[in-house]
A and B are shown apart, each in its own frame.
Chain A
Amino acid sequence: MTINLIFKIAAVGILVSVLGQVLKHSGRDEQAFLVSLAGLILVLLWIVPYIEDLFETVQRLFSMG
């Protein structure tokens, strides 16, 4: 879980930026934006469970909220 999450996100980021450049140079700016949006949503789908899980642990630990 620990380090490969960061590598996955970096890989998606680099892939999206390369795809975006290719699409921009071939004149399709909308697709470039859509690709970056799709990459963003994909990474958010990965990260949100971790956020929810960790903050739930914090709430349980500190008996708050």
Chain B
Amino acid sequence: MIKVAVIGIIAVFLAMAVKKDQQEFAMLIILAASLIILGLALSKIDDVINVIHIAEDYLGNNSVYIGILLKMVGITYVAEFSSNLCRDAGFGAVGNQIEFFGKVMIIAVSMPVIKSLLQTISEIL
């Protein structure tokens, strides 16, 4: 955890130093730092997802929903990562577009769940 904090702080100060003359390199430093932190986070996420896959076996037939849930988390994370990066660079419009597309993707991914929900409800009634 300390390593991630130190990487972030160092990257921010380096980016500020370079920002005066070259804006592009400041953004590249910020991008590199967030990629490194993403890399460190992914190793931890890997263990969590292995446990989730183990739990998936107990669910039996409706283990599809766990996959959809994981997909949603992935979409949210990537959308958040890229839209914040765009906003940091000063381009809010692109960031909002990415955010909007992320929401659309989540709705699209969750269509099967809604369909099966409606089916179960219609069976009950």
Residues of A within 8 Å of B49, CB to CB, are 61-62
Cβ-defined contact, A50 with B35, below 8 A: yes
CB distance from B40 to the nearest CB of A (A): 8
B18 touches A17 (CB 8 A): yes
* Chain B residues with CB under 8 A of A47: 28, 31-32, 35
**Per-position binary interface string of chain A over residues 39-64, scored 1 when its CB falls under 8 Å from any chain B CB and 0 otherwise:** 11001100100110011011101111
Say which size band chain A's interface belongs to: 20 to 34
Contacts of A17 in B (CB 8 A): 18, 20-22, 25
How many angstroms between the C-alpha atoms of A14 and B24 in the bound complex?
12
Chain A residues, CB < 8 A from B109: 64
Task: State A17–B26 Cα separation when bound (angstroms).
Answer: 12
> Are B74 and A62 in contact (CB-based, < 8 A)?
yes
Q: Is chain B's binding surface mostly helix, strand, loop or mixed?
A: helix
Given A10-B29, A47-B32; A63-B71 close (CB under 8 Å): yes
Kindly list chain A residues whose C-beta atoms are within 8 Å of the C-beta of B46. Answer: 61
List CB contacts (< 8 Å) of A15-49 with chain B.
16-17, 20-21, 36, 39-40, 43-44, 47
- Residues of A contacting B45 in the complex (Cβ-Cβ under 8 angstroms): 61
Interface string of B59-76 (1 = CB under 8 A from A): 000000001001101110
* Partner-B contacts on A (CB < 8 A): 1-3, 5-7, 9-10, 12-14, 16-17, 20-21, 36, 39-40, 43-44, 47, 50-51, 54-55, 57-59, 61-65
